Amino acid sequence: MRGTLVTMAWVVASLLACSDAGSNPPNSAGDPYSGGGSSDTDGHPGDSDLSVADPGTGGGDDNSDLPAGWSCLASFYGNDDGCDCGCGAPDLDCGGASCSEPGCYVDGCQFCYGGASGGNQCPAPEGWSCGEATWDDDICDCGCGVLDYKDCYSDATCIEPGCRARECRACHDGATTSDCTPDHWSCEPAAYGNFICDCGCGAEDSDCELGNCTESGCQSPVCDVCHDGSDTLFCVAAWSCDEALWGDGVCDCGCSYTDIDCGVDSCVDEGCIAPACEVCHAGAEPFFCIEGWSCRMSFYSDGFCDCGCGVLDPECVGESCSTPGCTADACEYCWDSAGVNQCPWDSGD
């Protein structure tokens, strides 16, 4: 009977996982390297948002640490998120190099509030050679003599005219501006330097390790995505799970290679569990990933109260336990570290 219920539970859970995944396709949003969006990644509002607000609206109910005269959001003060100027009082993040009058600017200000046009109005810093319009434009500009710290969010940038780096989205050489892709690049510009190894694009992707390939339709073990003209091919030679699970919007772990749907906190070894995993694989049997769960994954939330599994089973109503070999009133199965049921009563097995 339990085997039938386990199978039904897996089918229902799989359908729910697919339904959830369908609403969040991979690479659709949340990429800090793609630009766009109305807010800066540090939590400050974009240019179209209000720059000055009642301090009480920003940092919760307790504003006792705000200096007298502070007129910007309370959450901006001393939050290690950049030097805020024009807020009626100096920001602790500025280290003394700031100004407080609305609309002011001094060298060191990273966010400037209170001017006539509203919004964040800091001008480009001294040494910026790419024109005022390219500063704070939601595009990571490189080759401008100064780091574009408003739009570039990692160290994978450069400042010398004509340079290129992984995060750059607009490369300037003093006379022209390019999309930063290498010569002969035939794929979409956004595919270059996006932390996914694209192959078959006519030129090497900066995201690929040594051994990638550039010819249309080619495949290499390091490739995440392979391109053949206008088509995108499945090309992960090391992937051990079903091909349809790659890039399906669900983070699959235990497939011998990192799923493109997973972040940094995933894993690849068979049967492994990590915080980012949504479905874990051990051979042909997939299971849901519950960190700390030491029993068979198909036993988790399957309609029976399993105890001794390292984590409390949500099916247990009343007193239960999680230490291997333990027993409690609500337990229907009491598993020890060897996977043997130690319940002293008939569990219906």
pLDDT in tens, 182-198: 889 999 888 888 878 89
pTM of the model: 0.44
Q: What is the pLDDT of residue 334?
A: 95
CA distance 303 to 128: 64
CA distance 52 to 325: 60
- The yes-or-no verdict on residue 115 having pLDDT over 60 is yes
For the chain, give the mean pLDDT: 77
Span 1-21, average pLDDT: 38
Residues for the chain: how many in total? 349
Residues with Cβ within 8 Å of residue 31, at least 6 apart in sequence: 194
Q: What is the pLDDT of residue 18?
A: 38
Span 337-346, average pLDDT: 85
Q: What is the pLDDT of residue 117?
A: 58
Q: Are 254 and 280 in contact (CB under 8 A)?
A: yes
CA distance 320 to 335: 12
Nearest in space to 271 (alpha carbons), one of 282, 261, 259, 260: 282
- The yes-or-no verdict on residue 21 having pLDDT over 70 is no
CA distance 305 to 326: 13
Span 273-277, average pLDDT: 82
Instruction: Tell me the residue type at 97.
Output: A
pLDDT > 90: percent of the chain: 25
Span 225-239, average pLDDT: 81
- The yes-or-no verdict on residue 25 having pLDDT over 70 is no
Quickly state the pLDDT bin for 52 (edges 50, 70, 90).
very low
Q: What is the pLDDT of residue 119?
A: 64
- The yes-or-no verdict on residue 22 having pLDDT over 80 is no
Q: Are 266 and 253 in contact (CB under 8 A)?
A: yes
Q: What is the pLDDT of residue 266?
A: 87
Residues with Cβ within 8 Å of residue 247, at least 6 apart in sequence: 26, 259, 260, 261
CA distance 248 to 245: 5
Q: Which residue has the higher pLDDT, 189 or 45?
A: 189
- The yes-or-no verdict on residue 1 having pLDDT over 50 is no
Beta-carbon neighbour count of residue 5 at 10 Å? 13
Instruction: Tell me the residue type at 297.
Output: M
Q: What is the pLDDT of residue 332?
A: 94
